[in-house]
Structure 1
C-alpha cells in the first residue's frame, strides 16, 4: 500500500488479493461456529435448555449482523469516489435487520420474527457481498468467502426456526 498526502487530503493505493487471506478464513469461519453449535445444542437439549440456547444464539446472531453492517460502512470509506448509495443502503438494511431482531426477541419476546430477520440479513450478505466485491465496493475475497460462510449461519438459524415452530412451548 502506498500513501501520498498533500494539503487537501490523502491518496491511497492498495493491492487487494482475490484469494481469501488466512486471517479472513479464521475470522470469517470462526464466528460461524457458534451458530452451528447453538443449533446443534438446542436440538440436543430439546425441552430443557433449548429456549436459553435459542435466545443466546439470536443475540449472538444480531451482534454479528450489526458488526457486518459496520464492516460494510467501514469499507465504504475506502471506496474509490466515496461511499455509494448501495453501500449505505446495504449498511442501513443490515443494521435495521440486526436491531429489529434484538427488539423482537428482547422487547416483544417474538423469537420467530427475530429468527426471520436474522435469516434475511445473512442471506442478504451472502448475495450482496459478492456483487459488491465485483463492483469494487467490498474486498475481492468477499466474492468467494461470503457464499460459503453465510450459509452456515442461515442453515443454523433455519434449524432453530424449525425447532421453535415445532416446539410446544
Structure 2
C-alpha cells in the first residue's frame, strides 16, 4: 500500500478459488432457509405461519446484508463504483426492505416471498456477471450459482406452502 497527498494506491491479487471462510459464511447462512422451509412443511397447521414469518424476516435481513456487500465491494472497484454496482445495490436493498415492510406492515407473506425470490434470483444472475467485469470478487462467479439457489428453492417451497394453505 502506498500513500501520498492525494490518496492511497492499493495493489492486490485476487484468487479465483473461493476462500474457505467464504464457503463457511456463504453456505452457512443458507441453512436457515432450508430449515425454515422443511420445518414449515413438517409443522403444517401448527407452527407453519410463525416459521414462515421468521424465515421471511431472516431472508429480508440476508438480502439487505447482501445489498451492503455489493456497496462495500464498490468502494474498492478500480476506477470507482460503477453504475451497475450502485443500481444492483439499490435494487437489492429495495427488494429486501420491500419484503420486510410488506410482511410486517401489510402482513402479506406471498408478496414478501415474491420480492425475496426476485432479489435472490437477481444475485444468482448478476453476481457472476459482476465478478467477470471486475465489479465483485472473482470467486462470486463460482460461489453464487451454487449458493443462492439454496435460498431460492427454499423460498419457493414456502411460497407453494402458502399458496396451498386453505386460509
* TM-score computed with the length of structure 2 as normaliser: 1.00
1:40 CA drift (Å): 0.1
1:168 CA drift (Å): 1.0
Find the aligned partners of 2:153 and 2:63 in 1 and give their Cα distance.
Answer: 15
Partner of 1:63: 61
Partner of 2:13: 15
Partner of 2:105: 107
What are the Cα deviations for residues 50-101 of structure 1, in whole angstroms up to 9, with x where unaligned?
Answer: 0000000000000000000000000000000000000000000000000000
Find the aligned partners of 1:135 and 1:148 in 2 and give their Cα distance.
Answer: 19
What are the Cα deviations for residues 116-139 of structure 1, in whole angstroms up to 9, with x where unaligned?
Answer: 000000000000000000000000
Q: What does residue range 11-160 of structure 1 map to in structure 2 within 5 Å?
A: 11-160=9-158
Find the aligned partners of 1:60 and 1:128 in 2 and give their Cα distance.
Answer: 22
Find the aligned partners of 1:25 and 1:42 in 2 and give their Cα distance.
Answer: 26
Cα RMSD for the two superposed structures: 0.3
Residue-pair matches, total: 167
Find the aligned partners of 1:137 and 1:34 in 2 and give their Cα distance.
Answer: 28
Find the aligned partners of 1:91 and 1:131 in 2 and give their Cα distance.
Answer: 14
In the TM superposition, structure 1's runs of 4+ consecutive aligned residues that sit over 4 Å from their partners are: none
* TM-score computed with the length of structure 1 as normaliser: 0.98
Find the aligned partners of 2:32 and 2:151 in 1 and give their Cα distance.
Answer: 9
Find the aligned partners of 1:149 and 1:47 in 2 and give their Cα distance.
Answer: 30
Find the aligned partners of 1:55 and 1:14 in 2 and give their Cα distance.
Answer: 42
